[in-house]
């Protein structure tokens, strides 16, 4: 028992799907601890692995208290809860959960786009609030014929684009520093240039300091009064006040948002608007996909502590061999 590696789990996850993590590791449940600082002072040096989940930021403040941490297994493909520069500097390996959630998030993205354009939640409210018998639901805008721009043509962006090819949109574009070989979509270097050309902006890019505030008042103005924005990336990619103002003033038509600036908080101004569809960060949240994400997270820890290295390390912390048992 004494030589089981100690893992610090930051937040609760859905039940681990198979081989129980508790059989292999001694798990400290951070979110259940009343005095986390006292626990870290006492047990921090024992901790060799971490399950990064929830809203706790993993930066120098906590890493300083975990001098023997080897590996951080992050739930999610996005790992902006980690100060990845601090993690890399310490020689800690971080892993994420790519691929297993790609198609699920792409489904949700297209669903949210259609719900936003065709005003499906508003139409449903029209029935539930007993208004249908009094007046028909007003006609909605249409998706067909729109030019769509994707910011972040990675695995998820490509899966969204592939789906949209079946939807009679007029053009699919993407922006990014470099043009990608083997994609049939129009490339823009600059988001402003692309925003002026399209009427649907889909955000599937990573969060973090490099993309913070990328979509500002200027981008929204260029998207224009017929413009629709769908964000399944991270809230901070869009400037909050600019988005609220653009939705309120009609500078853009509508937004579908699965992510927010300080989750689970949703700005009151957005709740008051009728041209926004809100989801509680459920892009990957099907039972099947969450189980696969947790399984991959767990397999990363098993592989590491069996000396096989990480299965899916993030780009900033490549594995160079060694370590583990």
Quote the DSSP letter at residue 91.
Answer: T
CA distance 216 to 213: 6
Given the complex with ligand 8YV, which of 76 and 152 has the nearer CB atom? Answer: 76
Beta bridge partners of 276: 255
CB contact at 8 A, 25 and 64: no
With H, G, I as helix, E, B as strand and everything else as coil, classify residue 27. strand
Given the complex with ligand 8YV, which of 173 and 279 has the nearer CB atom? Answer: 279
Sites of contact with ligand 8YV (CB under 6 A): 53, 75-78, 101, 281, 283-284
Q: How far is the CB of 250 from ligand 8YV (least distance, A)?
A: 30
Beta bridge partners of 240: none
CA distance 148 to 294: 33
Active-site residue (options: 179, 263, 306, 308): 263
281 a catalytic residue: yes
Q: How far is the CB of 257 from ligand 8YV (least distance, A)?
A: 13
Q: How far is the CB of 275 from ligand 8YV (least distance, A)?
A: 24
- How would you write 157-209 as a 3-class SS string? HHHHHHHHCCCCCCEEEEECCCCCCCCCCEEECCHHHHHHHCCEEEECCCCCC
CA distance 247 to 111: 20
Non-local (6+) Cβ contacts of 155 within 8 A are 77, 98, 99, 102
Q: How far is the CB of 99 from ligand 8YV (least distance, A)?
A: 11
Q: How far is the CB of 77 from ligand 8YV (least distance, A)?
A: 4
**Residue closest to ligand 8YV (Cβ):** 76
Given the complex with ligand 8YV, which of 102 and 122 has the nearer CB atom? Answer: 102
Q: How far is the CB of 227 from ligand 8YV (least distance, A)?
A: 24
Given the complex with ligand 8YV, which of 77 and 252 has the nearer CB atom? Answer: 77
CB contact at 8 A, 253 and 226: yes
Active-site residue (options: 186, 281, 295, 316): 281
Active-site residue (options: 234, 239, 290, 292): 234
How is residue 127 written in tokens?
A: 């029935």
Could you give the C-alpha distances from 140 to 235, 244, 254, in angstroms and in order? Answer: 26, 21, 11
Given the complex with ligand 8YV, which of 154 and 224 has the nearer CB atom? Answer: 154
Cα dihedral sign, 161-162-167-169: positive
For the chain, the first-to-last Cα distance in angstroms comes to 16
Beta bridge partners of 58: 82
Quote the DSSP letter at residue 142.
Answer: -
Catalytic positions, written as ranges: 234, 263, 281
């Amino acid at each position: 028992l004494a030589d089981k590696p100690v893992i610090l789990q930051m937040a609760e996850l859905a039940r681990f799907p198979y081989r129980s993590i508790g059989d292999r590791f001694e798990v400290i449940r951070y979110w259940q601890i009343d005095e986390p600082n006292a626990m870290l002072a006492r047990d921090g040096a024992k901790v060799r692995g971490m399950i990064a989940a929830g809203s706790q930021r993993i930066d120098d403040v906590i890493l300083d208290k975990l001098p023997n941490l080897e590996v951080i297994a992050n739930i999610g493909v996005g790992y902006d809860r980690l100060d990845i520069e601090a993690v890399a500097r310490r020689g800690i390996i971080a892993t994420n959960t790519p691929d297993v959630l790609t198609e699920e998030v792409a489904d949700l993205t297209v669903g949210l786009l259609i719900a936003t354009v065709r005003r499906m939640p508003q139409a449903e409210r029209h029935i539930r609030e007993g208004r249908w018998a009094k007046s028909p639901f007003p006609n909605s805008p249409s998706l067909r014929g729109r030019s769509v721009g994707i910011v972040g043509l990675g695995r998820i962006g490509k899966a969204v684009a592939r789906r949209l090819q079946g939807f009679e949109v007029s053009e699919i574009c993407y922006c990014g520093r470099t043009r990608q070989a083997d994609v049939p979509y129009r490339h823009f270097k600059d988001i402003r240039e692309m925003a002026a050309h399209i009427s649907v902006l889909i955000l599937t890019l990573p969060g973090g300091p490099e993309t913070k505030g990328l979509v500002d008042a200027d981008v929204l103005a260029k998207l224009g009064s017929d413009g629709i924005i769908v964000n399944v990336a991270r809230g901070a990619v869009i400037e909050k006040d600019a988005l609220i103002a653009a939705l309120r003033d009609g500078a853009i038509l509508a937004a579908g948002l699965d992510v927010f600036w300080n989750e689970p908080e949703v700005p009151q101004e957005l709740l008051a608007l009728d041209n926004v569809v809100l989801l509680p960060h459920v892009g990957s949240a099907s039972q099947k996909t969450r189980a696969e994400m947790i399984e991959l997270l767990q397999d990363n820890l098993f592989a590491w502590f069996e000396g096989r290295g990480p299965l899916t390390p993030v780009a900033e912390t490549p594995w160079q061999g060694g370590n583990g048992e």
